[in-house]
């Protein structure tokens, strides 16, 4: 894959400049809190419009402010695993997982629900409601939901930050396993360097790292 990001985001009291061009499968954005790591993910996902910038994934131009291009999130096929999971509380785990599939490309080749559940160890949770899941389980379901929508790239925003130490140790191997089975590029955000190194070969510093 090739990923190229060049951004400038200006907010009152906050300016972020970020440039990244990489061929690596997994890249970790690392930097202190408030440096703008989540802002970068939001710009890649199309949830935030940068003041200036260009974002290209494998030749697909998602944002190019100079050319007036800024695709809405719906058109980007960018899978996003949020720090707080954001599962739909009124839907079962199964319907959460399958939510994006009806908007995904029709041609065959995507992962099956079974394969995703096996990889992430969530097959026994399918009929549960999100409110009954532990933090680690909810994150794994969120990962599966983003994977099943057949994205071009997976964004992961500190997926372990809300978990305690034991849950972190338990969940990290699932992330590594998914990375290897999924065959999709990952943009991973973490403020913990050892965690970032376990997921990604390449570390991109953000802010004063």
Contact footprint for another protein (CB under 8 A) = 45-47, 72-74, 76-80, 82, 84, 86, 88-90, 99-100, 103-104, 145-146, 149
Cβ 149 to another protein, closest distance in Å?
Answer: 5
Report the chain's terminal Cα–Cα distance, integer Å. 26
Residue closer to another protein, measured from CB, 48 or 204: 48
Helices (H), 80-159: 93-98, 113-120, 135-148
Residue closer to another protein, measured from CB, 100 or 121: 100
DSSP state of 13: T
Residue closer to another protein, measured from CB, 4 or 83: 83
Cβ 29 to another protein, closest distance in Å?
Answer: 17
Residue closer to another protein, measured from CB, 89 or 183: 89
CB 78 within 8 Å of CB 147: no
Cβ 127 to another protein, closest distance in Å?
Answer: 14
Which structure tokens are listed for 74?
């719906």
Distance in angstroms (rounded) separating the CA atoms of residues 97 and 35: 31
Residue closer to another protein, measured from CB, 37 or 145: 145
What does the angle CA 12 – CA 14 – CA 17 come to, to the nearest 5 degrees? 130
Cβ 47 to another protein, closest distance in Å?
Answer: 5
> Crossing angle, helix 113-120 and helix 165-182, to 10 degrees?
140
186-206: b or e for each residue (b if 16 or more CB lie within 10 Å)? bbbbbbeeebbebbbeebbeb
Cβ 66 to another protein, closest distance in Å?
Answer: 24
Cβ 90 to another protein, closest distance in Å?
Answer: 5
Residue closer to another protein, measured from CB, 24 or 47: 47
Distance in angstroms (rounded) separating the CA atoms of residues 82 and 21: 23
Which structure tokens are listed for 9?
């985001």
């Amino acid at each position: 894959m090739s990923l190229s990001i060049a951004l400038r985001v200006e907010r009152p009291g906050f300016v972020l400049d970020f440039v990244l061009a990489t061929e690596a499968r997994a890249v970790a954005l690392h930097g202190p809190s408030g440096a703008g790591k989540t802002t970068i993910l939001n710009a890649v996902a199309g949830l935030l419009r940068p003041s200036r910038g260009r974002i290209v994934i494998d030749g697909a131009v998602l944002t190019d402010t100079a050319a007036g291009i800024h695709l809405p999130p719906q058109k980007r096929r960018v899978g996003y695993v949020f720090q707080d999971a954001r599962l739909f509380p009124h839907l079962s785990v199964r319907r959460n997982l399958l939510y994006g599939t009806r908007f995904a490309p029709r041609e065959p080749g995507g992962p099956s629900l079974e394969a995703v559940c096996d990889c992430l160890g969530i097959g026994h949770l399918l009929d549960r409601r999100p409110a009954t899941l532990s933090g680690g389980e909810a994150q794994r379901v969120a990962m599966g939901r983003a994977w099943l929508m057949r994205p071009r790239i997976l964004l992961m925003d500190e997926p372990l930050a809300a978990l305690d130490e034991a849950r972190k140790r338990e969940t990290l191997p699932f992330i590594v396993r998914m990375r290897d089975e999924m065959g999709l590029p990952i943009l991973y955000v973490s403020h913990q360097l050892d965690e970032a190194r376990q997921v990604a070969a390449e570390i991109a510093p953000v802010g004063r790292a």
